[in-house]
Structure 1
Amino acid sequence: MRTNQGMQAAVESMAGRLAAVPGVVGVALGGSRARGEHRPESDWDLGVYYRGTPDLDALRELAGPGVEVAGPGSWGPWVDGGAWLEVDGAAVDWILRDLDRVGRVWADCRAGRYEVGIQAGHPLGFWSPCYPGELALGRILADPAGELASLRTEVAEYPEPLRAALTASTWEAEFLLAGAAKGAARDDTLYVALCLSRAVGILVQALHADARRWCLNEKGAFDIAAGLPAAPTGFGPRARGLLAAPGGTREELAATVEAARALVSDTVAALRASA
């Protein structure tokens, strides 16, 4: 396997070749590598931004034999497509992103609108602010026309209307737990566990937004949220306890739901005080 410096050079060279593919506008390094939070085994995630339809044949030729390149829409409604490659033992992922769609999502975020869509690999759903957040936290590797750099300048400042909308979304966590209480009375473990997970996920998104910090996906988001300014005392261990052992009886499930309601109430109060 190459050294980190060698892989960096290889990835930058690959980005330049990707940017030359018809339809591709630019390439940005994303994920933990871009944020400096990576481990030695972390993947190299390349956001391949395109307009219209990228030349899939050219992408397949660049990927090499035996590598499947999935076109737009092949992997679901939000993660357009891409490819999984291995370069000298290191995983390199191409993730397609429709630049015009990213721009539309960014306009929605500035107006305080967002979507949460079903997407494979995202158990709490794909939250649309991830699109501009990826650029805000990423590192541009190839950008011939300067379009990625221009948009990245815009998304550098977290929009206040989005912050307000996401912090207000905690009403759903309260609603979910009202339903979970009924599920606990029926000894419906699956329903209660799903309500708990989503309720905590909503709180995590709200805490990120309150701190004006982009939340890209579920990975690592909980631990970050637990250390953010508006997180109430004990948020991390309290939420971890709820999710780790919701209970196996009606009584245990009911007690867990009540503890979750208290956590939501405390978080909502802390967010209001922070506003």
Structure 2
Amino acid sequence: MERLAEIANRLTEVDGIVGVCLGGSRASGTHSPDSDFDLGLYYRPPLDTAALGLLAARLTGGPVEVTEPGGWGPWVDGGGWLTVDGHRVDWIYRDLDRVHRVWRDCRAGRFEIGVQPGHPLGVYSHSYAGEVAVGQVLADPGGELRKLRELTRRYPEALMGNARWEAPFILAASRKGAARGDVFYVSGCLFRAVGLLAHALHAHARRWVLNEKGAIRAAGELAVAPTDFAGRAHGLFSALGTTPETLAAALDDADRLAADVLDHLDR
């Protein structure tokens, strides 16, 4: 952590960088020994990416590709993949003014779902607020990140319930595809429905979902989740089969799981 703090402090000397947070599994305590160190670089344009590239080269001992903002897509934004002292250290840009806008939307109960490579469920905009809430501030000369972190740790009441209505709707819509044996369509509907249920459980528990990875397991560990939520959710995909009959049976199981989740949330 001392080495990370040193790197973070050097990053805040780059024009545009407001502060740096440790994120991902390292921040939440769910990491394994070989997990990456994800550093969120919170910036305001213009960002001096040339200076970032020079710093990356000094830290790694060789040239490193550091992107311009937006180089990794509309939501992941950009950054660089470094290896420092034998450890993988990822720099991930976050436009701080955009994070503030997302937080204002969260408090009003609004969010959007963005298309982003590598995120099959889509990027839920409120993950930006969640990243700050669960992150560990490493460098914050002006105190702005620490203030925002304290605010975002209180999950907005207005966001609760927004993910609940769509799961039964999309499961009902998938029945026509099941009757035609359209495994691809039914699989997509199931994936989305289960993802929505995970979001609903997290929202009810006032916990942030940052992305799809591990979201079902984490939802199953919440006190508000029905018994064996994760096992039942994962089992839906192994039981799909390829016939209208097996697809319909899987959707029956999904309907029961959705009903159990919503019942638990209404208690």
TM-score (norm 1): 0.93
Deviations 1:93-150 (A, max 9, x none): 0000000000000000011111111111211110111111111101100111111111
Residue 151 of structure 1 corresponds to which residue in structure 2? 148
Partner AA of 1:235 in structure 2: F
The one-letter code of the counterpart of 1:134 is E
Show the counterpart of 1:205: 199
Sequence identity of aligned pairs in percent?
Answer: 57
**Residue identity opposite 2:168 in structure 1:** E
SS of 1:94's equivalent in the other structure is: strand
Q: Distance in 1 between matches of 2:155 and 2:37?
A: 25
What's the CA shift for 1:179?
1.9
After the TM superposition, which residues 62-101 of structure 1 pair with which residues of structure 2 at under 5 Å, given as runs? 62-64=55-57, 65-101=62-98
2:25 aligned with 1:32, yes or no?
yes
> 1:185 Cα deviation (Å)?
0.7
Return the alpha-carbon distance in structure 2 between the equivalents of residues 253 and 187 of structure 1: 7
Q: Does 1:268 align with 2:255?
A: no
Residues in 1 aligned to 2:229 and 2:259: alpha-carbon distance in whole angstroms: 11
Name 1:234's counterpart in structure 2: 228
| Partner Cα separation in structure 2 for residue 144 and residue 120 of structure 1 | 33
Give distance in 2, aligned partners of 1:50 and 1:208: 29
Q: Distance in 2 between matches of 1:168 and 1:268?
A: 12
Name the amino acid aligned to 2:254. A
Aligned residues between the structures: 263
Residue 157 of structure 1, CA deviation: 1.0
The root-mean-square deviation of aligned C-alpha atoms, in Å, is 1.1
Equivalent position amino acid for 1:214 in 2: W
Which 5+ residue runs of structure 1 have no aligned equivalent? Answer: 1-7
Amino acid at match of 2:189: C
TM-score, scaled to structure 2: 0.95
Partner residue of 1:3?
A: none
How many Å separate the matches in 2 of 1:76 and 1:272? 38
What amino acid is the match of 2:233? A
- 1:172 matched to 2:169: no
Are 2:239 and 2:246, in contact at CA under 8 Å, matched by a contact in 1? no
